[in-house]
Chain A
Amino acid sequence: MKPGPVSVPHEARAALWLLAPGLLVIGLFFLLPIAASLLLSFTDFDIYAIADIANIRLAGVANYAALVRDPLFWIAMRNTFYFVLVGGPLTIGVALAVALLLQSRLARWKGLFRTIFFAPYVTTLVAVAIVFRYVYHPRFGLLDRALGLLGIAPIDWLGDPRWAMPAIILLAAWKNFGYAMILFIAGLQAIPESLYEAARLDGAGAWATFRRITLPLLSPTFLFLGVMTTIGYFQFFAEPYVMTAGGPLNATLSVGLLMYKQGFRWWNMGYAAAISFVIFLVILAATSIQFAFARRRQA
């Protein structure tokens, strides 16, 4: 790490004034609450403590111990991993396929298609989740109607515990693939044409070129998207909140939704803080694994 600049007095004074408001906001409304959250997770802070702070007691690791024994927590963990491990690769896979199609010389109206594919990403999640609630309706919904044309019997997407999570994953993939696509397009455009020409001269086919040139040179994009998607998807909340309330039979209860319910509906804030730190640690582990994996491949 560089040692940093030598202080120039009048600049340092100006820096103090320029930094103070922003750092105050971040310190007061982000960093301090995070530290407080860690403390909170070792207390029994609940609705009685909200009424009178004197009712708060240190609880040691009791919240974490209770969490491990809470079947609902394990259901939420399983659901969250399901969402991340299926939804993440699906989103990124679709995005890569679409980016490759758009890169093809045979594709036309590329600008228009790019805008269309990106549009869902900017929409309001709550609003489109409500739209999809109706799209998934087994009798009046668009999706079952379209599947019916292919001869597939209607599926009660949000009412069937087996299909509710796939339905939410489809919504997430629909909404987010445009973001990953934009990054893939930028990554593809950064690959020098000369590499492809050299491959062609060596007689490499399309598949070999893709595996030996395109995929390896996209690995920074894969890493970035993998990390961003992991962080975002582990926190998914609005989809089940709006579409299923975590049901049916807790099939779509996410860890984020469980934290919200424990903390802000039942006011078990100590317990909810423990949940939030478990999410944090899981995200940290999952992203670290990806970084380590990327470093190994580079070495």
Chain B
Amino acid sequence: MKRLLVRVAIPAALLAIAVTTVAPLVWMVCASLMPTGEANSFPPRFLPSRPTLVHYGELFTRLAVGRAFANSLLVATATTAISLLLNAMAGYAFAKLRFSGRDRLFNVLLAAMVIPTPVAMLPLFLMLRAMGLVNSYFGVILPASATILGIFLVRQFAQAIPDDLLDAARLDGAGELTLFRKIILPQLRPVLATLGIVTFLATWNDFIWPLIVLTDSSHYTLPVSLAILVGEHVQDTELMMAGSVLTVLPVLLLFFLLQKQYVEGILLGGVKE
């Protein structure tokens, strides 16, 4: 009897938690398809009576959220591409090239990782302002275009590349930069795929720094645009839900497609002790 209870209880508990977990997301999608006002009816509805895409249309036509979508795409793609390259270069150098002071320099970087990023934000803003980069895409991309964690992960991975491979290429007369381009980068592909998806999602979702450094709507990324929009349109539940779907859907799709790489990245970050 007790065994039977456990046999039912565990799947039932999992199912209940899963339903609770997806409910807000499913409701978000449903509400975004409801005719205006239906999400604010009593008793609350879960499913739209007549599904409509009118709120999505309004986002793109009247509210120029399409622009924010393009901005987010641009910023996330550029940040990912540039940071992958710079992190790969530095991570490889720390792992494989022999120069004095290497390990000490790397340890300084590691120690700096304990400092939370908001500590840097106030002077960073003043600095970018002096450089004329406030309210520009560069203001978002540049500070994120190399990361200590990224360098750390590439270094971990690159340490496993056999020295013989490098020595053989050097004997063949390959210069150091050719060696990096032709031999190392292909070897790093798995860790770069992992790091790439993690970086893209983190940049897409980032809020506080774009909020600070982007000052007018033509440059807003989606999260910033959404946070400003909710101030003016808090009564328009269906519209706000459409905006949320538009923001969340790309990252969810990317996660479903590249789940293996993403979870690997999470675990890599988690075993750095």
Q: Interface of A with B (CB < 8 Å)?
A: 1-8, 10-19, 21-23, 25-26, 29-34, 36-37, 40, 50, 98, 101-102, 104, 106-108, 113, 115-120, 122-128, 130-135, 139-142, 145, 174, 179, 182-183, 186, 220-221, 223-224, 231, 234-235, 237-238, 241-242, 256, 259-260, 263-264, 269, 272-273, 276-277, 279-280, 283-284, 287
- Residues of A with C-beta under 8 A to B104: 4
Q: Does B160 contact A (CB under 8 A)?
A: no
Is A14 a contact partner of B176 (Cβ separation < 8 A)? yes
- Residues of B with C-beta under 8 A to A123: 25, 205, 248, 251-252
Other-chain residue from A4, A102, A117, A139 in contact with B101 (beta carbon distance below 8 A): A4
Is A276 a contact partner of B119 (Cβ separation < 8 A)? yes
The answer for the CA separation of A134 and B97 in the assembled complex, in Å, is 54
A-B CB contact pairs (8 Å), 10 listed: A4-B104, A5-B99, A18-B89, A34-B119, A98-B17, A101-B17, A123-B251, A127-B226, A183-B267, A273-B123
Q: Does B151 contact A (CB under 8 A)?
A: yes
Q: Does B112 contact A (CB under 8 A)?
A: yes
The answer for the CA separation of A284 and B112 in the assembled complex, in Å, is 12
A-B interface, 4 closest residue pairs, ranked by CB to CB distance from nearest: A14-B176, A36-B123, A12-B99, A22-B90
Q: Closest A-chain residue to B272, C-beta based?
A: A224
The answer for the CA separation of A220 and B27 in the assembled complex, in Å, is 37
Is B146 a contact partner of A140 (Cβ separation < 8 A)? no
The answer for the CA separation of A75 and B160 in the assembled complex, in Å, is 50
Other-chain residue from B109, B124, B230, B266 in contact with A29 (beta carbon distance below 8 A): B124
Is A19 a contact partner of B90 (Cβ separation < 8 A)? yes
Distance (whole angstroms) from the CB of A80 to the closest CB of chain B: 13
Other-chain residue from B22, B86, B124, B273 in contact with A33 (beta carbon distance below 8 A): B124
Q: Does B240 contact A (CB under 8 A)?
A: yes
**Known A101-B10, A119-B21, A127-B247; contact A182-B124, beta-carbon cutoff 8 A:** no
Is B114 a contact partner of A287 (Cβ separation < 8 A)? yes
Instruction: Give B11-47 as 1s and 0s: 1 = Cβ < 8 Å from A's Cβ atoms.
Output: 1011001100111110110010000000111111010
Instruction: Give B89-131 as 1s and 0s: 1 = Cβ < 8 Å from A's Cβ atoms.
Output: 1101110011111111001010010111111111111110000
Q: Identify the interface centre among B18, B121, B177: most chain A CB within 10 Å of its CB.
A: B121
- Residues of A with C-beta under 8 A to B42: 139-140
The answer for the CA separation of A263 and B100 in the assembled complex, in Å, is 41
Q: Identify the interface centre among B90, B122, B247, B251: most chain A CB within 10 Å of its CB.
A: B122
Other-chain residue from A7, A142, A183, A242 in contact with B23 (beta carbon distance below 8 A): A142
Q: Interface range on chain B: under 10, 10 to 19, 20 to 34, or 35 or more?
A: 35 or more
**Known A224-B270, A279-B119; contact A128-B24, beta-carbon cutoff 8 A:** yes
Is A7 a contact partner of B145 (Cβ separation < 8 A)? no
Q: Does B180 contact A (CB under 8 A)?
A: yes
Is B89 a contact partner of A116 (Cβ separation < 8 A)? no
- Residues of A with C-beta under 8 A to B190: none
Is B146 a contact partner of A235 (Cβ separation < 8 A)? no
The answer for the CA separation of A26 and B87 in the assembled complex, in Å, is 11
Q: Does B6 contact A (CB under 8 A)?
A: yes
Q: Closest B-chain residue to A41, C-beta based?
A: B122
Q: Does B7 contact A (CB under 8 A)?
A: yes
Q: Identify the interface centre among B127, B204, B208, B237: most chain A CB within 10 Å of its CB.
A: B208
Distance (whole angstroms) from the CB of A255 to the closest CB of chain B: 10
Is B118 a contact partner of A279 (Cβ separation < 8 A)? yes
- Residues of A with C-beta under 8 A to B117: 30
Q: Closest B-chain residue to A142, C-beta based?
A: B27
- Residues of B with C-beta under 8 A to A130: 226-227, 230, 240, 243-244
Give the contacts of B202-229 with A (CB-CB under 8 A): 204-205, 207-208, 212, 222-224, 226-227
Is B98 a contact partner of A107 (Cβ separation < 8 A)? no
Q: Does B157 contact A (CB under 8 A)?
A: no
The answer for the CA separation of A3 and B127 in the assembled complex, in Å, is 37
Q: Does B148 contact A (CB under 8 A)?
A: yes
Additional pairs, 16, CB under 8 Å, beyond known A186-B267, A263-B121, A284-B114: A1-B107, A18-B89, A18-B97, A19-B89, A101-B13, A102-B14, A118-B255, A119-B25, A131-B244, A224-B273, A238-B207, A242-B230, A264-B125, A273-B122, A276-B119, A277-B119
Is B120 a contact partner of A127 (Cβ separation < 8 A)? no
Q: Does B241 contact A (CB under 8 A)?
A: yes
Q: Identify the interface centre among A21, A25, A142: most chain B CB within 10 Å of its CB.
A: A25
Distance (whole angstroms) from the CB of B242 to the closest CB of chain A: 11
- Residues of A with C-beta under 8 A to B180: 14, 18
The answer for the CA separation of A272 and B202 in the assembled complex, in Å, is 25
Q: Does B132 contact A (CB under 8 A)?
A: no
Other-chain residue from A11, A122, A134, A182 in contact with B241 (beta carbon distance below 8 A): A134
Other-chain residue from B13, B248, B256 in contact with A128 (beta carbon distance below 8 A): B248
Is A14 a contact partner of B177 (Cβ separation < 8 A)? yes
The answer for the CA separation of A174 and B28 in the assembled complex, in Å, is 15
Other-chain residue from B43, B87, B224 in contact with A22 (beta carbon distance below 8 A): B87
Q: Identify the interface centre among A11, A113, A115: most chain B CB within 10 Å of its CB.
A: A11
Is A269 a contact partner of B122 (Cβ separation < 8 A)? yes
Is A7 a contact partner of B263 (Cβ separation < 8 A)? no
